[in-house]
Chains A and B, each alone.
Chain A
Amino acid sequence: MTLTHFQIVSGALFAVGLYGVLARRSAVLILMSIELMLNAVNLNLIAAASYLDPERFTGLIIAIFVITVAAAEVGLALAIILRLFRNRATVNVDEIELMKW
């Protein structure tokens, strides 16, 4: 395996997540697709750190920070989704038109 193989897998995962973000209606499923995209980025970072930067492995440490921020993001986003569901009785993003012009 070379670096390119891992990069192509991560690109495929990112494209799948992009499709999910654009095509899904439920906010929970959009959140899951964002997690897929963050994992694709992490895979790319770790592959690059493992092949190109084995002395300082900066990508590996940045991946740890990405995982931290992803955990914070999931907690906060689910709180917002719960509040939205309590107020509007729906989590479909196309029925939440609060900020529509």
Chain B
Amino acid sequence: MSWYFFAALTVLTVGGGLGVVSTRNVVHAALFLLVSLLGVAGLYVLLLSEFLALVQIFIYGGAIIIVLLFAIMLTRSREYPNISDNKQWPLAALAAIGFFGLLTASFMANDADFETRNRVGFTVLARALFNDWALPFEVASLVLLIALVGAIVIAQTERQGQQ
């Protein structure tokens, strides 16, 4: 049964990714990205980490897609419905396929048969995050704050009569 879920979520994830890199319409690309990220959230559920699936849906589905759509609307120019790839796309396809082959070969090479999975409860995760990883957690919050303040400073419009 879970095999069917795995196959469906794989199709959703990789198919959404292929949609992102192949569609001509940039808004469709954002919606394909949403499909792909929801597929990844489903794979997290299959891996028994529901917390990460929730975080994935909230942050990517809720926040990042909205911000990307904002950027698309704000930078819409004449050529937008007909975005195109650059001339090096055959080389890029070759590099991507070669890299995928390399990764698959190295994953197959040490294919030990791990079958057991353990569920990580919310409480256990929170205890680890706020005890053992408290300092990195605070640093991450600082990084987020500084990055967003910097984003506001970069994107703000100059007032009249000011350089």
Contact = CB atoms under 8 A, between A and B. Distances in A.
Interface of A: 1-9, 11-20, 22-26, 28-29, 31-33, 35-36, 39, 42-43, 46-47, 49-52, 54-57, 60-61, 63-65, 67-76, 78-83, 85-86, 89-91, 94
A9 B49 contact: no
A67 B96 CA distance: 24
B17 A16 contact: yes
B104 A83 contact: no
B68 A32 contact: yes
Contacts, number: 224
A91 B72 CA distance: 10
A90 B151 contact: no
Q: How big is chain B's contact interface, by range? A: 35 or more
From B21, B44, B104, B143, residue with most partner A Cβ within 10 Å? B21
A32 B20 contact: yes
Interface in B49-87: 49, 52, 55-56, 59-60, 63-64, 67-68, 70-72, 74-75, 77, 83-86
Main secondary structure of the interface of B (DSSP, over half): helix
Contacts of B26: 26, 28-29
Given A15-B96, A29-B20, A43-B40, 19 more contacts: A1-B6, A7-B103, A13-B13, A13-B17, A14-B103, A16-B18, A18-B99, A23-B86, A50-B49, A51-B114, A51-B117, A60-B125, A64-B52, A68-B141, A72-B144, A72-B148, A75-B148, A76-B147, A91-B75
Contact of B14 (A12, A31, A63, A68): A12
Contacts of A71: 59, 63-64, 144
Contacts of B74: 82, 85
A89 B128 CA distance: 47
A9 B56 contact: no
Contact of A11 (B20, B88, B100, B143): B100
A3 B114 contact: yes
A17 B111 contact: no
From B2, B64, B144, residue with most partner A Cβ within 10 Å? B64
Contacts of B14: 9, 12-13, 16
Contact of B67 (A11, A50, A68, A74): A74
B20 A33 contact: yes
A47 B63 CA distance: 24
B103 A36 contact: no
